Structure 1
Amino acid sequence: MEQIAAEPGTKVFYLNGKKINSKQTFLTQAAEAMEFPAYFGNNWDAFDECITDLTWCPAQRYVILYDHADIFSPIF
């Protein structure tokens, strides 16, 4: 993972799972970390739209590092 993240053209997004304990905090943290545009609607449809079209953040590859995902995953 570290090797891929260090390659030129790679954009790494870091989600701190310690701050995520609900759908709303996940969406807020993801929007901040992934630099979603201002029109992001803070819902799953908007998340899907933004994460599948990262034109505002050009890169050859993307890495999402979601630390402590176990905090939120049991809730879902």
Structure 2
Amino acid sequence: MTDLLPAPGLTGLLLGATPPGVYRLPPADTTPRVVSLAAEADWRGATLRLGGVTTKTAFLDRCATDLEFPEWFGRNWDALADCLTDLSWWREEGKARGYLVLAEEWTAFRKAAPKDARTAEAIFGDAVDYWAGEESPLAVLLG
């Protein structure tokens, strides 16, 4: 099980006081608040909407759509790892202080597809570790 985002919470993550990681989003933090704070801190954020997602196929399809993955995304676990360790598809003009993926309704997905959720969480963790030493890290919040 992933740890809850530690104090000082989202602000600490965005300002560098809390190391990037895969964290459970505190219940008091809402998607609009997370997106707004990330933008204010010059982080690029994306929301992965997992409502109604109960299978690996649906999860990967939702990643492709919500995260706006490139055409070459192969809709398998290896391709998910590739997209998360090659963020060229996400970069825009200018430099971001970091990249943030917010996975909404993670608990429901984990209950519906526990094995797939564990695999996805491991891939998220590997991607976060990959970017940890870089100027623009990746963090994942499981809501």
Question: Aligning the two structures, in what range does the TM-score lie when normalised by the shorter sequence?
Answer: 0.7 to 0.9
Superposition map of 1:35-50 within 5 A:
35-50=68-83
Identity %: 33
TM (norm. structure 1) is 0.84
Q: What is the CA-CA distance between 1:44 and the residue it aligns to?
A: 0.2
Unaligned runs of 5+ in 2: 1-9, 11-33, 115-143
Count of equivalent residues: 75
Match of 1:17 among 50, 71, 77: 50
Give the Cα separation in 1 of the matches to 2:50 and 2:100.
15
Unaligned runs of 5+ in 1: none
Which one is further off, 14-23 or 40-49? 14-23
Name the structure 1 match of 2:107: 70
User: Does the 8 Å CA contact 2:45/2:101 hold for their aligned counterparts?
Assistant: yes
Q: What is the CA-CA distance between 1:57 and the residue it aligns to?
A: 1.4
TM (norm. structure 2) is 0.48
